[in-house]
Amino acid sequence: MYEWLASWLAVKQQSSACTTVPPRLQSSRVVVANATTAERLARAKGYPYPRPATSFIFCNGAAYTFDDSAWVTPSQWHGSLEHLLQLQVTAPDGTRGSFGAVLAQQGVKQSVLTAETPLTPILAIGSNAGPEQLARKFPLDMFPDGVVVPVIQCVLQDFDVVFAPLISSYGAATATLEHSPGTAVSVFMTYLTPPLQQRMHETEGAYNLCRMEGVQLREGLALPAHLEAAQPVAVHATAYNYNHQSGTLHLPFDNPGSSPVALTEIAAAGRTYPALTQVQMQAALRAALTGVTAEQLPGTSGSSSQPLHKLNTLPSIQQEPPGGAEEPLSAEGLDDWILSNLDQPTLRRARVSALVRAAQPFQYRESEVLMVIGTALSTSVK
């Protein structure tokens, strides 16, 4: 299942010893056509999006769920798809049957996934575990032969899912990993065929593809089951993930006690970082970036660095913005701010540049960057 990464590493080892710069991939934007204002706002505020409470296989736009304990990790398939085809899954309409029957019903061509097809496991810590985001990334008009992605629930020890220094091109504050000793966080792992892997890379602008060593990744296990000492189907010491190129957003700004901020929507045990919902983080960013204008984007005429508005606390949507702002944060005002990021790309990039300047690097030392995807200002999908 690691064939692509093994091949890439072999090429790297054969290259000159002085070559240390990882390859760079141009990102590609995912466009949702004809979205209404309400849909655009829902997408921005809905990150990281609903995901099933168990493992599932994403197939042609839908999630087919199954018990975590029924999964067999691909390294144990021994050159056969028998396990996958016989796996009993539940369709979105509640009917149960074998996944082989789903493939036949959906008309997925056999060439999409064979016993020889390499599957690369890459963590899904944020929206990549959400079926609606996977549907945006892997539309059938782009993959007419079919889409099959096993998405396996896992527990990652000593890490947490926190906010990155990014406002995405679709308006959401996105996620990244941060080292957090003692924390166990719920994540998923996507198994990607080469075409889907390439497409996933292209949609991860502003992120690096990384390889982490010395981790404890428990595959096929929900966090509540982990807390009850249930056993995973496999344990991995190596994990591949997308992490933001500039690391982690720390709040409050200009505060010696600042720290990463976890996503409330992502379950964790033993969490030590403060946590905010997507809407609360949007409110915090709106307050902090009040003075940032499009003219302050680096490289534009007359650009200059605008200091971030100091936040003494982490505001929620109900709180008044720190610093004596005249109006409290309201849902209407926040929607206007989100729409300004969606409709004014230069302003959004200026705001992202300000966040990047305030970011802190990823703190886990046993992490290697395998690929740099786009830049911090890429317009793509996380």
The type of residue at 269 is: A
Mean pLDDT across 86-114: 98
Task: Give the separation between CA 216 and CA 239, rounded to whole angstroms.
Answer: 9
**Domains in the chain: boundaries:** 3-12+21-276+360-373
Buried/exposed 12-22: b ≥16 CB within 10 Å, e otherwise: eeeeeeeeeeb
Mean pLDDT across 211-229: 99
Mean pLDDT across 244-269: 92
Contact 282, 259 (CB under 8 A): no
The answer to whether residue 375 scores a pLDDT higher than 90 is: no
Instruction: Give the confidence band of 257 by pLDDT, cuts at 50, 70, 90.
Output: confident
pTM of the model: 0.86
Nearest to 236 by CA among 260, 259, 213: 213
Share of the chain above pLDDT 70, in %: 81
Task: Give the separation between CA 25 and CA 335, rounded to whole angstroms.
Answer: 33
Strands 259-260 and 250-251, bridge-based pairing: antiparallel
> Per-residue pLDDT tens for 5-43?
444 334 333 433 334 556 656 555 565 668 899 999 999
- The mean pLDDT value of the chain amounts to 87
- 94/255: higher pLDDT: 94
Least confident of 87-101, 246-260, 309-323, 351-365: 309-323
Task: Give the separation between CA 338 and CA 372, rounded to whole angstroms.
Answer: 27
Phi, psi for 156 (deg, rounded to 5) = -110, 120
